[in-house]
Every structure is written in C-alpha cells, then in structure tokens.
Amino acid sequence: MRRFEERVCFVTGAASGIGAAVSRALVSEGARVVLADLDRAGAERLARELGPGALALQLDVRREEDWERAFEASERTFGRLDGLVHCAGISAGSPLVDTELSEWRRVLETNLDGAFLAVRAALRRLAGGGSIVLIGSASGIRPAAGAAAYSASKAALAMLARTAAKEARERKLRVNVVSPAGVKTALWRQMPFFVELVRQHGSEDAAFAALCGPGERFAEPGEVAAAVLFLLSDAAAHLTGVELPVDGGYTL
C-alpha cells in the first residue's frame, strides 16, 4: 500500500531511532518527508538514502525561531503540509531527591516546551485538516522510578495532545500520541548504566534483554513507526485525542 502518496509530512528527531524509522516508512508509502533534527549531518545522511522526496533541516525544537525557519523552508520546497510526527526528545535518569533543577528544566524544555512549539506550529499551518502524532512514553502512563523529569514531561505531553485535539476537532485536524515502552534506539548508548550492562553482558542485545522481565522485550523502531503511520493515515480518520501504548503490555 502507498497510503501517503504525494502527502508531505514533517518529522522531528528524524536522524535516528523512531524518527528515522517513521521517515523511511513514510517515504516507502509515497510521502515526501521533511527530516528535521538538531543533528543536521545525520538528517542529511538519511535524506541522501531516501532520495529527492526527503528534505533535511536542522531544528532545535526548543527555539521558536527555528520552527518558523524550518516550516518556511519546508513550504518553499514542498508547498504544503499534511502531517507532523514529533519524535524529538531526551531522557535523564536520577532519583528525584538527587535531581538538579537544571536537569529538570533541561528535560521539560526539550520534551514539553518542544512539543508545545511543534503542535502550535502545525496547528497554524494545517488549516485544511491533517494529522499530528506525538511520541510519548509508557513512562508517562506508568511512572518510572529514577526518571521523574522524563515521566512528568511525557505525561504532560499526552494532556497537551488531548487539549489540542479538542481545539482542532472542528477543523478536521487530528492529534494523537504513540507511547512506547523500551525501544532499541541509540538513546540508550548515552546512558552510563547501559554502557556498563553492555560491558557485563557482551552486546547491546544482551543488555536490552537483561532489562526485561518475563515475557517482556524491547520494541524495534519499526514497530513504533507502524503505529505512527496508522494514526497518521485515513484508516484512523475517527481517532483523535488517543494515547496508544506500544509497550507489549508494560502499562497493564
């Protein structure tokens, strides 16, 4: 199927992980895609892989002026916008009692302020309808000890999406959230405890397995992308304000 033939989608955090998987899936189904990421070199590498239907842009999701510049560049190239997938985000891990205010603000600024700017920018441009999908987290549904800032940011993001969905409903514009549990992405390689697990167990796959309980596993980015594309597509035309956990039952 080519559900997104000639549609234009704007993807943040597109250089790696879930964002890259979403971008590849969209292009495979006919979309033209804006690959926006703070890592411009990574976005440009993916654009070369995906071909002329992909445009790489540098975007710091925390900066209003970056959003305006990025959407202006997108409109000059593709002339329209049909959807936004906001994947950009960061993590942090420390017990609440040890969390510095600077770390709390850094996580909330990227994960929540960035999502606010993403939704607001898209709402202003999707006047004729369309779809917005935000990447939340199972940690925003079931709190994660040692990750208060991250869990709080993702829980608030889900409420932001529901509020936006309510405001945009009359415009035939849908806003939904996909909330995965653990996903095999490069984000984990930045965490010292995961680096230690890799050393102890001999590989990243073994380290991921060590973090799982009975019957659990980490998702592949493509599995999350499949859920995102469903919510973006016309098959989900009557779904808005939904938070879809992609977590293998973690939040049950």
Per-residue pLDDT reduced to its tens digit, 5-29:
989 999 999 999 999 999 999 999 9
Residue ranges of E strands in 1-114: 8-12, 32-37, 54-58, 83-86
CA distance 146 to 68: 35
Q: Enumerate domains of the chain plus CATH numbers.
A: 8-182+220-246 (3.40.50.720), 184-218 (no CATH)
**250 belongs to the catalytic site:** no
Which of 4, 10, 150, 218 is flagged as catalytic? 150
CA distance 213 to 236: 32
Per-residue pLDDT reduced to its tens digit, 146-188:
889 999 999 999 999 999 999 998 888 999 999 999 899 888 8
Determine how many CB atoms are found less than 10 A away from the CB of residue 170. 7
Per-residue pLDDT reduced to its tens digit, 33-69:
999 999 999 999 999 999 999 999 999 999 999 999 9
High-pLDDT (> 90) share of the chain, % = 77
- Per-chain mean pLDDT for the chain: 93
Q: In this model, does residue 213 exceed pLDDT 90?
A: no
Integer CA distances (angstroms), 87 to 6, 81, 202, 210, 216, in order: 22, 17, 30, 26, 23
Q: In this model, does residue 191 exceed pLDDT 80?
A: no
What confidence category does residue 100 fall into, taking pLDDT thresholds of 50, 70 and 90?
A: very high
Please tell me the pTM assigned to this model.
0.94
